[in-house]
Every structure is written in structure tokens, then in C-alpha cells.
Amino acid sequence: MAAIQALRCVHAGCSYPPNELDYTCPRHGELGTLDILYHYAALRARLDRDAISADKIANHWRYLPLLPLEADCQLPPLSVGGTPLYAVPRLAEHLGLRRVWVKDEGLNPTGSLKDRASSLVVARALQEGLGVVATASTGNAAAALAGLGAALEQIDIVIFVPASAPPAKIVQPLAYGAQVFLVDGSYDDAYELCTSACAEFGWYSRNTGVNPFTTEGKKTAALEIAEQLGWRAPDVVAVSVGDGSIISGLYKGFWDLLQLGWIDKLPRLLGVQAAGSAALADAWRAGMTAADIKRRAVNTIADSIAAELPRDRSKALRAVRETQGAYVTVSDAQIVEAIPLLGRLCGVFAEPAAAAALAGVECALNEGLLDRDAEICLVSTGNGLKDIASARASVAPPAPIPADLAVLRARLEGSDML
């Protein structure tokens, strides 16, 4: 319902009228991803953050006045967003920080933050009468797009996932009735195939990076965080990074709010990458540009952040640079350890890529990148039920016992449960 003012290429600032392009800047290709810009002065005059706070809509459509859809557009029926932001004093104490919040994105309808992007893309497809929407995915974007499209007769969903994705992430889109192709190869191979298929068959591409509506969808997580804190930004927002689309969406959300004068600063963004998939972290440390980043082999247990060539690299580097943030890398062992830590201290069960954000905060504290006085929001991007096998490695399931009270009593000897 916010009228688009222009589409602006992130790489070189090339500007295009609204609706002229669906994907990237024709002059700069994948590096020239697009910002959707609004008439901020007009929005500022017309909109009131308190009116949004008073809105009864409990999902992300409460932010429709800040999203690039037409007023009468049909919205997909699943309820996306409106996820809790927990204050977690025990985690703050454990980390030696003043205040910590956890945003539990695993509570979205298909179990990850990806629902926010898919919801916007599906709404746009409905608005424009586009009948087939396709995506490549490490798994969560597939589930999200399939779920959001499931209840809609007008739209068919086509999914490309690596055959090696965790079973839940393959079963989920199938259960939602999507056409699923298991690609023999990496996520990046699936991505290239999906891109070619969209060009060949005229399908609408939800692919991360190229479709600016995904950024606008993911930005609603930032709008929510700010609103849940009483319209202010925390000092730091930590999130895991693969393609770089979530961190870019968070940046855009806070940036939009700053243009509106609804918050008074951007939070520092802390991007957390797996050591085995660290293209953006390495580029940031070396002071490289997005154009310098080359595709390379990756290896990590956190499949959702395994990206050989981060597709949203232009926006993802900007997000950290413009906010004086940082990138850190964490090992798979640190990621797995963070799963039960988040579970124990927050009651939030996270998949490896989501728990990585916590491992990254610990790492950033050790590296002196964060002030202990800072107020930090951790985004837990996906539900632990997505990948039980990895979580299992972190908890050491006990051996079975006989159904015998005496045996149980003997086992409990010395514990404080007796």
C-alpha cells in the first residue's frame, strides 16, 4: 500500500521507475540488486506509528502501509510474522551482556523467517496475475514458498532443492503440494537451474537476491523488533548469514524506519557465517567489494547458511558497513553447542543456522567487537524441528531404562530432583 517511488540499483545507484523491472539492474546484473524506495516525506506525513501499534492485525500485514503492494491486492491466507521477541535475562547473564532479546522466527507458519519473503512474493504474483512461482532453496525458502502458495488455486509452485537437504525440508514442500525437483548438486547448482528455468518458461522467480520483494518481506522482522521495543532500535542485531538476504532485509526495515523518523538510529548488524561458508565475512575483513567475491566450495552442518556465492552479496556487505557492524565466523562445533544453550536458557529450539547467531555473539564478544553494555537482539531464524539429526548431536540422548520405579530411583540418586 506504499506507492513505490523508484527502484535503485545497490551497486551503482542506477534508478528506475516503479514496475519497470522485476529483478536486478540490467546494467549490473546480480551485483545490481534493487532497493524499493518510497515517497518517505509523504509517508511520514500520512502515517502514524501509534496507529500501527493500535492495529489489531497480529501478523506482518499490520505493516501493509509500508509494503509495495496495492491496496486491494489479495493476500495469501497463512499468518506470517507477529513472532515473539523474548527478553532473556539468563542469556544476558550467561553472555555477560546488559540486555538480550531473542526474536523467535521459528514460529512462523512453515518454521522459518523465509515465510516473510515468500508471503510478499506470492502476494505480488497474485496482484500481477503470475501463475507459476519458482525458487531454488537450501530448504526453508522452498517450504515457505510452497506453504504460502498452497492454499491458492491461482498459483503453482516449483521448487529446486539440493538432493542432500535435510529430510524435513524436502518433505515439507511436497506435503504442501509443490512440484519439487531434487537437484543432484549444491544449492548453487539448484539456483542456476532455477534461474534458467524461470527465464525459459516465464515463471516468476522468488530466488533470494534477485527479487527485491524478498527484501521487503524480510524487512518486516525489523519493523516488528522496533515496534516490540516501543519504536526503537536495539544497539545490535545478530543474525546468521548465507546468501545475505535476511541481513539485507533487516537493514532495509530499520533504514525505512529511520527515513520515517520512527527510530533514531540504525542498529549495528552482526552477520554470523559458518567458517565453512564464509564468503561475506572474508570479503568484509579484507575490505573487498561484492564484485570481488567468487563462487567457492562450502562445507557446514548449518545447511541454511551454506552458499557458495552469496546471492545478496551487494546488499549484505552494505548492511554491515553502513551500520558499523561486523561479520564473524563460527565453527560447526560452536553452532551445535549453541543449540542446547539457546534451548536451555530461552526455551527456543533453533535449527543449526539459527543457533549460529548465538555462537556468533559469543565469538564477537571474545573478539572485542561488541560492547558489554550493548543491548542485543538475536534473531533465531528457523525452527529446530527442521533438522533433528543435527540437534541430536548436541544433546546426547540417554540409553533406555526399564519401566521400573526402583531403577528410576537409583538413576536419580544424587540429583536435586529427589
Q: Which is nearer to ligand PLP, 59 or 208 (CB)?
A: 208
Q: Is 211 in the site for ligand PLP (CB under 6 A)?
A: no
Binding mask 375-404 for ligand PLP (x = CB under 6 A): ------xx----------------------
Q: Which is nearer to ligand PLP, 133 or 141 (CB)?
A: 141
* Chain residue whose CB lies nearest ligand PLP: 382
Q: Is 245 in the site for ligand PLP (CB under 6 A)?
A: yes
With CB under 6 A as the contact rule, which of the stretches 93-101, 172-180, 240-248, 398-406 interacts with ligand PLP?
240-248
Q: Is 114 in the site for ligand PLP (CB under 6 A)?
A: yes
Q: Which of 349, 273, 351, 271 is nearest to 306 (CA)?
A: 273
* 64, 241, 278, 365: which one binds ligand PLP (CB under 6 A): 241
Measured CA to CA, the distance from residue 203 to residue 94 in angstroms comes to 48
User: What are the CA-CA distances from residue 58 to residues 46, 52, 235 (Å)?
Assistant: 22, 11, 25
66 contacts 205 by C-beta, under 8 angstroms: no
Q: Which of 339, 358, 141 is nearest to 270 (CA)?
A: 358
Size of the site for ligand PLP (CB under 6 A): 18
Query: Which long-range contacts does 251-255 make (Cβ < 8 Å, 24+ apart)?
Result: 251/222, 251/315, 251/318, 251/319, 251/322, 251/323, 252/35, 252/215, 252/216, 252/218, 252/219, 252/222, 252/315, 253/218, 253/219, 253/220, 253/221, 253/222, 253/223, 253/226, 254/222, 254/226, 254/323
Q: Is 291 in the site for Zn ion (CB under 5 A)?
A: no
Q: Is 25 in the site for Zn ion (CB under 5 A)?
A: yes
CB of 175 to ligand PLP, least distance (A): 18
Q: Is 110 in the site for ligand PLP (CB under 6 A)?
A: no
Q: Is 186 in the site for ligand PLP (CB under 6 A)?
A: no
Q: Which is nearer to Zn ion, 4 or 107 (CB)?
A: 4
Q: Is 9 in the site for Zn ion (CB under 5 A)?
A: yes
Q: Which of 135, 286, 308 is nearest to 213 (CA)?
A: 135
Q: Find which of ligand PLP, Zn ion, none residue 304 binds, CB within 5 to 8 Å per kind.
A: ligand PLP
Measured CA to CA, the distance from residue 102 to residue 239 in angstroms comes to 10
Q: Is 6 in the site for Zn ion (CB under 5 A)?
A: no
Please state whether beta strands 99-104 and 156-162 pair in parallel, antiparallel, or not at all (unpaired). unpaired
* 76, 147, 242, 360: which one binds ligand PLP (CB under 6 A): 242
The cell numbers describing 389, all together, are: 539429526
292 contacts 282 by C-beta, under 8 angstroms: no
User: What are the CA-CA distances from residue 81 to residues 60, 74, 108, 150, 273 (Å)?
Assistant: 5, 17, 6, 18, 24
Q: Which is nearer to Zn ion, 25 or 348 (CB)?
A: 25
User: Taken in order 316, 319, 321, 322, is the CA torsion positive or negative?
Assistant: positive
Q: Is 140 in the site for ligand PLP (CB under 6 A)?
A: yes
CB of 14 to Zn ion, least distance (A): 3
* 2, 10, 23, 32: which one binds Zn ion (CB under 5 A): 32
45 contacts 38 by C-beta, under 8 angstroms: no
322 contacts 251 by C-beta, under 8 angstroms: yes
Measured CA to CA, the distance from residue 104 to residue 191 in angstroms comes to 27
With CB under 5 A as the contact rule, which of the stretches 18-26, 175-183, 264-272, 288-296 interacts with Zn ion?
18-26
User: Which parts of 176-278 fold into alpha helices (H)?
Assistant: 187-201, 212-228, 245-260
Q: Find which of Zn ion, ligand PLP, none residue 246 binds, CB within 5 to 8 Å per kind.
A: ligand PLP
CB of 107 to ligand PLP, least distance (A): 12
Q: Which is nearer to ligand PLP, 126 or 318 (CB)?
A: 318
Q: Find which of ligand PLP, Zn ion, none residue 12 binds, CB within 5 to 8 Å per kind.
A: Zn ion
- How far is C-alpha 385 from the geometric centre of its chain's CA atoms? 17
User: How many degrees, rounded to 5, is the angle at CA 6 between CA 137 and CA 64?
Assistant: 65
| Region 286-305 residues binding ligand PLP, contact defined as CB under 6 A | 304-305
165 contacts 138 by C-beta, under 8 angstroms: yes
* 14, 87, 182, 229: which one binds Zn ion (CB under 5 A): 14
CB of 158 to ligand PLP, least distance (A): 19
* Site residues, ligand PLP (CB under 6 A): 112, 114, 140, 208, 240-246, 304-305, 351, 353-354, 381-382
* Site residues, Zn ion (CB under 5 A): 9, 12, 14, 25, 27-28, 32
